[in-house]
Amino acid sequence: MEMNPTELKRTRVVLHADHVSNVSSIDFPQNFDNADDDMAWDFEKFKKNFKVVISRLQKDAIEFDLIGIDASIANAFRRCLIAEIPTMAIESVFVLGNSSIVHDEILAQRLGLVPIKADPRLFQFKAVDDDATDLNTLVFKMKVKAASKNSKVKAEPGDILSDENTNVLSKHLIWEPQGDQLDRLADDPPRPVHDDIVLAKMRPGQEIDLEVHCQKGIGKEHAKWSPVATASYRLLPEIQILAPITGNDAVKFQKCFTDGVIEVFKNSKGEREARVLNARRDTVSREVLRHKEFDGKVRLTRVRDHFIFNIESTGILPPQILFGEAVQVLINKAKRVKEALTELTGDMQIDQ
């Protein structure tokens, strides 16, 4: 169905060969000279149009569609996911002994980036002047020694027997429960998310002995606290064929897009004709707009209020939990703004 120019400008971002038009959102009152067109924001209308559709859910990744919101809100969710959801990460490293080739400060930096599987909702933030307690700190210890297989010295627990280079891995970080943590965290004991992260290499006779303290923080302070590997969104692509594309042009048209976007079928006249199969898979390369034979036959757009979100967790929390936490962070921000406005305005009534 052909869209009228006003609706196209309001709801679609249009792609051209050398530029993009309708970039800015203009969905607000009195933007058009149309007295019947009321674009004032209405909660009931928003609730009716807003949708969340999950299209893929895996252990550490999720893809879902947010439909019916503004780009500013979608971007706020993305920023909250990256920088404002708390996690537990290694903050302090106490090196008791290190005879490996890796310097203490480099080893500490590598340890800090190891994601720790611990539910941050069960811990408190630790201020600079606060004492470490079982409510704000997790303790891990690492004591590994590389020993030769042919050594006559009796091996001790934790020794790695090898005559070659020995890998010190994240699995060598052993949790040391403090206070009542053993009972409180028994169902899901704290541990590195991955056991096979290489932290250092040692030769026989070398040793690493250290203790680390994990604390609660957010990615805004340091990237090690960010709970996501990636958090991104894109607008839903839309491809409109304005005039029939048949014969050899149909095959060429199909090759201008990613596999699975366009299909060629036989129409009622027995001719090969192109049609859109799955515009969602389009990478929006705009290759089709380079070819003169398709001028006026195709329009590439993106739906302004339809966002395809992709979240990849570091493994600390499931991705569906992370998005719920991001929503809660944004709600808390809105509440703080409302409280501040209430203090400024006194007894004036503020709408919900």
Cα torsion 92, 98, 103, 106: sign = negative
Q: How many CB atoms lie within 10 A of CB 81?
A: 26
User: Up-side HSE of residue 11: CA atoms within 13 Å toward CB?
Assistant: 11
Q: What is the percent of the chain with per-residue pLDDT over 70, rounded to a whole number?
A: 89
Structural domain boundaries enclosing 72: 5-83+230-243+296-310
Co-location of 100 and 197 in the same domain: yes
- Residue 140: closest CA among 156, 123, 116, 158: 116
Residue 78 has pLDDT above 50, yes or no: yes
Q: Is the pLDDT of residue 348 over 80?
A: no
Which of 118, 105, 109 is CA-nearest to residue 91? 109
The residue with tokens 């302070």 is 221
The verdict on residue 281 lying in a domain is no
Are residues 238 and 207 located together in one domain of the fold?
A: no
For 6-13, what is the mean pLDDT? Answer: 86
Residue 348 falls inside a structural domain: no
Q: Check residue 170 and report its DSSP letter.
A: G
pLDDT given for residue 162 in this prediction: 57
Task: Report how far residue 326's alpha carbon sits from residue 332's, in angstroms, rounded to the nearest whole number.
Answer: 10
pLDDT at 71: 92
Residue 321 in domain: no
Question: Is residue 329 a part of any domain in this protein?
Answer: no
Q: Mean per-residue pLDDT for 75-98?
A: 96
The radius of gyration of the chain's CA atoms, rounded to the nearest angstrom, is 28
d(CA 143, CA 209): 4
Question: Do 41 and 111 sit in the same domain of this protein?
Answer: no
In a domain, 201, yes or no: yes
Number of Cβ within a 10 Å radius of residue 276: 16
- Cβ pair 250, 96 in contact under 8 A: no
The residues with which 161 forms a beta bridge, in sequence order, are 147
User: Which of 73-82, 241-250, 321-330, 341-350 is predicted least confidently?
Assistant: 341-350
pLDDT over threshold 90, residue 155: no
Whether residue 154 is found in the same domain as residue 179 = yes
Domain count, the chain: 2
Strand, helix or coil for residue 157? coil
CB contact at 8 A, 168 and 190: no
Q: Is residue 140 part of a domain?
A: yes
> Between the CA atoms of 72, 314, 95 and 200, what dihedral angle is there, to the nearest 10 degrees?
-130
Residue 294 clears pLDDT 70, i.e. is over it: yes
pLDDT tens for each residue of 164-185: 568 999 999 999 999 999 999 9
Whether 346 shows a pLDDT value over 80: the answer reads no
Per residue in 248-293, pLDDT tens? 999 999 999 999 999 999 998 999 999 999 999 999 999 999 999 9
Mean of pLDDT values over 214-231: 96
> Within a domain: residue 338?
no
Which tokens sit at 86?
Answer: 């708390």
Q: Chain-centre distance of CA 117, in angstroms?
A: 17
| pLDDT for the residue numbered 351 | 60
pLDDT greater than 50 at residue 35: no
Looking at residue 166, which CATH number applies to its domain? 2.170.120.12
Question: Given this model, what pLDDT does residue 170 score?
Answer: 95
Cα atoms in the 13 Å half-sphere on the side-chain side of 286: 11
User: Distance between CA atoms of 25 and 4, rounded to whole angstroms?
Assistant: 17
Mean pLDDT of 53-64: 96
Look at 17-21, 31-35, 144-148, 244-248 and tell me which has the smallest mean pLDDT. 31-35
**Whether the predicted pLDDT of 246 surpasses 50:** yes
